[in-house]
A and B are shown apart, each in its own frame.
Chain A
Amino acid sequence: MIPPLTKLDYQKTMLDYLELNKKMLKGINNLLTIEDVDVDLTDKELIHQEGKMKLYHYKPLVKKVSPVPTVVVYALVNRQYMMDLHQNRSVIRNWLEHGMDVYIVDWGYPDQVDKYLTMEDYIDGYVNDCVDVIRERTGHDKINMLGVCQGGTFGTIYAALYPEKIRNLVTMVAPIDFSIKEGLLFHWSKYMDIDKLVDAYGIIPGDFMNFGFLMLKPFQLMVDKYVGLMDNIDDPEAVKDFLRMEKWIFDSPGQAGEAFRTFIKELYQENKLIKNEFELGGRKVDLRNIEMPVLNVFAEQDHLVPPSASRPLNDAISSKDNDIVSFPGGHIGLYVSSGSQKHVAPAIANWLNERSKNGRKASSKKKK
């Protein structure tokens, strides 16, 4: 039986509605005139390119720059400029202001020609080449690696395979233990026939991935977010911020099929990484090889990579100097919230800077 709603305040409802309309009116211009929004604005220089992958070096913003460079390895999903969405809320800019010497990998947009790219191609190939380019350019034997989300998983695998090239490792919201029960992506992926999906598409469409992400919180991400926009639509800056995030969310590159197949099957479904059973290019990835200082950062309300997927890293490695830091907020909030600017970015910069004093230069020109 449907209960009668006896306490209906018509006047308040109407006034709410009229206020909403007023805001909508003011916001019309905002939406009518915006063709695109500015993102990824921090000044940087292209220093290496291989296939669709590009390696950039950010120009320093302060005189005293850390002697050890840091390469940021982003996920293959979505785009790395999430860390530089807006100048007032740019994690990259914050790090530069803290004196970090930052390089970043841009994976580009794979198409069908790239469908056979494997995880070996990505990690033993692209990531290793980028590290070598930076080592050669700066003359350092070892550099810092900072991996974000899936890029954190890549960074961890890389550090286990090439510990001689990494001085400090930072992982941010990186999935390491895939056996967890909390995250829906971890739960759903167990039932996917990845072979069939990869065989059907070659390159897994970005839209497919996005739909999966939206389904994690469908009412919030597909309805309330836009209804909520109406509340701020009369504020041009708020609308632009919203559109920047919107642009990033729907800027979804496809996934190279072979790499996707391995990542989902051997990590998500078989959880080989944390068990030291994962192999790359015929070599076993043993996390115990990681002896360098490690900082493991995660978000306490992360619904994409829950803390329980990131936390176990510290127990699986041999590093004596290993820290684990969590911040309130979600997966994306770690990069774009005001808390990110005040707490997250400075904490990481300080941790790295502390461990990057007296940068030791390489004795020979290049070592592979």
Chain B
Amino acid sequence: MADTQKSMVELWQEFQEKMIEAWKDSMPREAPYNAMSSDYSRQMMEKWQEMQQKMVEYWKGEDTRPFDIWESMANIPGWDGSDQGDKMQEFYKDMMQTTSRNLEELWKMAPPGVGKETYGRMKEAGEVYSELMAFWMETAVKLPDSGDVEKWQEFLQNWFDNYNRVLDSFFRLGLPEPVKELVKGPGELTHLQQEVLFNFMQPWFQVAPEMKDKLVQAMRGDREAYKDFVRLFHKTHEDTYGRTLRVPAFGLSREHLEQLLSSIDSYTRYVYNINELNAVLYRQGYEAMEDLMNKVTRLAEEGKAPTTFREFYKLWWQSNEEAFYEIFSTEEFGRLLGEVVNSWAGFKIDYDNLMSRFINENLPIPTKGDMESVYKTIHEVRNNVKARDEQVENLNGQLEEMESQLSKREKEVKDLNKTVKTLSETVEKMNKKIEDLEAQVKANKGGESS
């Protein structure tokens, strides 16, 4: 980052920090513990929510100026509760417009790498955090009066809708991009968008009237009904189109048609499975939240209820972790997860085969199938080369051994030759001595006879 940009960020930070300090000082010190009646607190909270929402929108790319909200916060009654706050407010107002715009540009200039990638993940986690905070504020701040039945009904409906947003943002976290896309599609099905589903489901409604009832119940927020609906959908599909899709085809394009139908069938199986899994996850999410609310009530009775969002958040993630661990450990979840992965793999195989066939028939480029044989050959060649290398190494070892043996033998032969030579010389000497002795004996005999 250029020095000028860096100093700009530092300047911006400095202003922000001063502003925050001033804001803290300006907060009414005598505000009641539960400040529901305080305009200052209420407005501050609403602005806070608004700011979170704007940050989320900014992260999603829907808002290009998330920091404007800071400016409007300065106009909250009670903000100028102290001289220092008043001065800082003016100071802040003057500088905020320019620095906030610059900061927005700087965020975009963050270099790719671990910092930016981590920021991306923080952003996603921040969405969950913000959605939960918005949900919590909605629940905690806007509770209707106990006697207002109509508002309570409306509140409960909103509760479901709002918490759905929290769960949506959570379940899409951490997924690799290709998986994210696949989950996002069926995940959106869980919102049960009326128009799409009714059109899509029309043929089945005639076959299974129960499905229609379940769908309507599910659209009203009944998670069990949604799960039943998904199960009925699968069964009806299996009994109708599923069976048709698996009927052997005839004629010239038989094989192609079979592949096509098979891939459609396997995709449908995958969609069914991921929806069933989603239904279980969402159901667990809602149940965990209801359990948490009950726990908060119990804690409230003991005077230990969370009093800040951070405390509530901590309770939320820890209790959810426990609840999800429990369900993840069940046979049902293991089976469902297995079916999702298996049906996805089945669909991928079918889809890849279909694409390969199309490419093979129409384009002059190698396909996955062609490359498979290359990979296999490379693997075999690598292993063969390695085996040959080992053989050569062993042979070299044997050769070295033989050479060593040969050299030993040569030395032995040399020694033997030397011995033979010595022996020959000895024999020669002995023969000479024998000859001399014989000559002497002969001479002695001649002397005696004469």
Contact = CB atoms under 8 A, between A and B. Distances in A.
Interface stretch (A215-223, A342-350, A352-360): A215-223
A33 interface: yes
B146 to A, nearest CB: 8
A35 B106 CA distance: 15
Interface in B37-54: 38, 41, 44-45, 48
Given A192-B338, A215-B328, A223-B317, A3 B293 contact: yes
A229 interface: yes
Contacts of B321: 217-220
Contact of B329 (A9, A125, A187, A218): A187
Contact of A243 (B45, B114, B139): B114
Contacts of B124: 222, 226
B300 A3 contact: yes
Contact of A32 (B1, B328, B376): B1
Nearest to A208: B176
Contacts of A200: 344-346, 348-349, 352
Contacts of A210: 174, 176
B33 to A, nearest CB: 6
Contacts, number: 245
Chain B interface category by residue count: 35 or more
B437 interface: no
Contacts of A35: 111-115
A114 B383 CA distance: 12
A190 to B, nearest CB: 7
Contacts of A193: 338, 341-342, 345
Main secondary structure of the interface of A (DSSP, over half): helix
Contacts of B170: 218-219, 222-223
B23 A223 contact: no
Interface string B385-428: 01000000000000000000000000000000000000000000
Given A3-B296, A116-B375, A191-B338, A31 B317 contact: no
Contacts of A5: 139-140, 143, 296, 300, 305-306
B173 A223 contact: yes
A26 interface: yes
Contacts of B376: 116
A18 B20 contact: yes
A225 B125 CA distance: 9
A3 B291 CA distance: 11
A272 B385 CA distance: 31
B97 interface: no
A112 B303 CA distance: 60
B194 interface: no
A128 B398 CA distance: 21
Main secondary structure of the interface of B (DSSP, over half): helix
A113 B307 CA distance: 57
A263 B270 CA distance: 26
B102 to A, nearest CB: 12
A178 to B, nearest CB: 15
B149 interface: no
Contact of A29 (B10, B139, B175, B176): B10
B174 A221 contact: yes
B273 to A, nearest CB: 12
Interface stretch (B83-91, B227-235, B308-316): B308-316
Contacts of A29: 6, 9-10, 13
Contacts of A25: 12-13, 16-17, 20
Contacts of B375: 112-113, 115-116, 202
B41 A11 contact: yes
Interface string B12-30: 1100110010011001000
29 contacts: A6-B300, A9-B34, A9-B308, A10-B44, A11-B35, A13-B45, A17-B309, A31-B110, A31-B116, A35-B113, A113-B375, A116-B375, A116-B379, A184-B328, A187-B328, A190-B338, A191-B338, A193-B341, A193-B345, A196-B342, A202-B372, A208-B179, A214-B174, A217-B321, A217-B325, A220-B321, A226-B118, A246-B114, A246-B118
4 nearest A-B pairs in the assembled complex, by CB-CB distance: A191-B338, A207-B176, A34-B115, A226-B125
Interface of B: 1, 6, 9-10, 12-13, 16-17, 20, 23-24, 27, 31, 33-36, 38, 41, 44-45, 48, 103, 106-107, 109-119, 121-122, 124-126, 128-129, 139-141, 143, 155-156, 159, 170, 173-176, 179, 293-294, 296-297, 300, 303, 305-310, 313, 317-318, 320-321, 324-325, 328-329, 334-335, 337-339, 341-342, 344-346, 348-349, 352, 371-372, 375-376, 378-379, 382-383, 386
